[in-house]
Amino acid sequence: MINAVVSTHVMKVAQNGITETDDVLATEAPLQIQLMYENITQQISVTMRTPGSDSSLATGFLFTEGIISSYKEIEFVELTETPEGSIATVHLSATSQPQLKQINRSFVSTAACGVCGKTSMEDIHTAISKINTTTTFHAEELFRLPETLHQQQALFNTTGGLHAAGLFSAKGELLILEEDIGRHNAVDKVIGSAIKEPAIDRSTCLLLLSGRAGFELIQKAAMAGIPFIASIGAPSSMAVDMATKYNITLIGFLKAQRFNIYSLPERIICK
């Protein structure tokens, strides 16, 4: 298994002088995701990611892209290392019916790109049901979430160079935290972990993003049936449109004392 961080030697330049020291960087390395079904190996994607939780990343990617519809379709995930990079082979059950039409394009994702390989407008609009929930969040609970997330970001606190995604319960409990150099990978890791756990009711959860909220992250959360998304940074216009379309409460600029609500504000109790 490749380490999530690597050491390097750096020269630090400041107005008062130059120093040489060692520094720690987040690892960026390729992961090939492929399916094994009916004795056929089908290559799906190559993504640049931070090593760690590769099984969850592969599972979450297949789920959020609509290639599989349930974790029950997976028998096991086989992780192997080659001189060229890492491979996650997802072995599907005999009853699985993977939606291979979803992979008629080349999925090649950099750490910064969640939609690379999508070649038409139809490719970025996946069939998603509207999310209905009776769950609400109190504003006071939301104010505490950024610090809770930050305290658990071990790799970010070491390198300063990773995105994080956290899944919170309606009580404000951090259920799953994942970090990655790619924000979409962090979300796929969270969702891949969540769909493995029957005890997690995603229809009552909130997904917190350490950076901005682009439409591709809203789409992934919508595929997982998550009705609340909050981001430390700004949402994009398409993120707001998509959240509204799928009945997701979208919160941006979440800080310890303030936040903005961009869609379905009635689910947030502000008194």
The residues annotated with a catalytic role in the active site are: 113
Annotated binding-site residue? 144: no
Q: What is the CB neighbour count within 10 angstroms for residue 77?
A: 19
Annotated binding-site residue? 220: no
Residue 83 carries which DSSP code?
A: T
Q: What is the CB neighbour count within 10 angstroms for residue 142?
A: 25
Annotated binding-site residue? 256: yes
Annotated binding-site residue? 254: yes
What is the distance between the terminal CA atoms of the chain, rounded to a whole angstrom?
49
The whole-angstrom separation of Cα 76 and Cα 88 is 10
Alpha helices in the chain (DSSP H): 54-64, 139-151, 154-159, 183-194, 215-223, 237-245
Closest C-alpha to 149, from 256, 59, 64, 28:
256
Annotated binding-site residue? 153: no
Annotated binding-site residue? 101: no
Residue 72 β-bridge partners: none
Binding site, annotated residues: 253-258
